């Protein structure tokens, strides 16, 4: 029998993410859930992006490996509580939780554009400042498995949520959209909020008048903030638009 020897490895980032999501709150928990979400992956100059990215434009999607740099959990937990399971637990290796022995993330994203110092990608679930460990092209013929089972995630389907914009705030949004040259801004906001980014403790009390259940929440997008509240479990109302919040 081969004796197990624990090893440690050193890794270094090849670049950094500049995302439409500055903060963890509101950021999708999986890639592809918000097709309008975008990020620029800036590659460190030492890795010669103008050369090392050659040939990547032949692919439509890629694997993004990154480090959960804001993961504050220093203690290992064999079981975690995925938000979608509403309190149920699963073994950490049966989940996509960021709280892992090694906080490494893996996302399948769409390649949009290659520039001299990096790449634009879409369908992201990472925040600005995330260190990138590696980039690899997605190979459809060997990595697509339509017959694959998805375990407990197959049993949880997202609900349809309506996003309501007061007319004056819709005008503010359009002005922000034009000034920032982000034509997908409204889609980005609505697709993100429909995932219901609230912590579980706030859910299920939409008809209550007691705090904190009717409180407003805010999600940052690029350089602005969107404030919102739930009127019902299926309806969100935008309450404030703050463009260029930085």
Answer whether 41's CB lies under 8 Å from 15's CB. Answer: yes
Predicted confidence at residue 4, as pLDDT, reads 66
Cis amide bond preceding 243, omega within 30 = no
User: Which residue, 2, 1, 84, 25, is CA-closest to 221?
Assistant: 25
Burial of 111 (0-12, 13-18, 19+ CB in 10 A): buried
Check whether 212 has a pLDDT greater than 50: no
CA 218 to centroid of chain Cα atoms? 16
Q: What percent of the chain has pLDDT over 70?
A: 89
Please, what are the domains in the chain?
Answer: 15-151 (2.40.30.70), 162-242 (no CATH)
Q: What percent of the chain has pLDDT over 90?
A: 63
User: Which residue, 111, 34, 104, 33, is CA-closest to 69?
Assistant: 104
Rounded Cα–Cα distance for residues 31 and 44 (Å): 23
Q: CB within 8 A of 132, min separation 6: which ones?
A: 13, 14, 15, 16, 17, 41, 43, 64, 65, 66
What sign has the CA pseudo-torsion 166, 169, 175, 180?
Answer: negative
Average pLDDT, the chain: 89
Residue 174, phi-psi category: left (phi > 0), alpha (psi -120 to 50), beta (remainder): alpha
Token pair recorded at residue 171:
């005008």
Rounded Cα–Cα distance for residues 137 and 60 (Å): 8
Residue 81 pLDDT class (50, 70, 90 cuts): confident
Length of the chain: 246
Q: What is the pLDDT of residues 124-179, one digit of tens each?
A: 999 999 999 999 999 999 999 889 888 877 765 556 899 999 999 999 999 999 99
What sign has the CA pseudo-torsion 42, 46, 47, 53?
Answer: positive
Q: What is the pLDDT of residues 15-55, one digit of tens each?
A: 999 999 999 999 999 999 999 999 999 999 999 999 999 99
């Amino acid at each position: 029998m081969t004796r197990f020897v624990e090893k440690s490895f050193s890794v270094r980032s090849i670049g950094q993410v500049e995302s439409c999501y500055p903060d963890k709150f509101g950021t999708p928990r999986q890639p592809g859930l918000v097709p309008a979400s975008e990020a620029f992956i800036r590659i460190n100059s030492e890795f010669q992006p103008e050369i090392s990215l050659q040939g990547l434009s032949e692919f439509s999607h890629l694997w993004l490996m990154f480090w959960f740099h804001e993961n504050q959990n220093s203690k290992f937990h064999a079981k975690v509580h995925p938000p979608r399971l509403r309190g149920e637990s699963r073994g950490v290796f049966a989940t996509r939780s960021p709280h892992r022995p090694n906080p490494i993330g893996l996302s399948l994203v769409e390649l949009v554009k290659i520039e001299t110092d990096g790449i634009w990608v879409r369908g992201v679930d990472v925040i600005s400042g995330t260190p990138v460990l590696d980039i690899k092209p997605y190979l459809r013929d060997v990595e697509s498995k339509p017959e694959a089972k998805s375990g407990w995630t197959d049993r949880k389907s997202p609900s349809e949520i309506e996003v309501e914009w007061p007319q004056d705030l819709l005008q503010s949004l359009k002005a922000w959209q034009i000034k920032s040259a982000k034509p997908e801004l409204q889609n980005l906001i609505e697709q993100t909020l429909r995932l219901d980014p609230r912590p579980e403790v706030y859910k299920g009390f939409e008809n209550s008048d007691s705090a904190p259940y009717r409180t407003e929440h805010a999600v940052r997008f690029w350089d602005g903030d969107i404030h919102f509240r739930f009127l019902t479990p299926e309806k969100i109302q935008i309450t404030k638009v703050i463009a260029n919040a930085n």
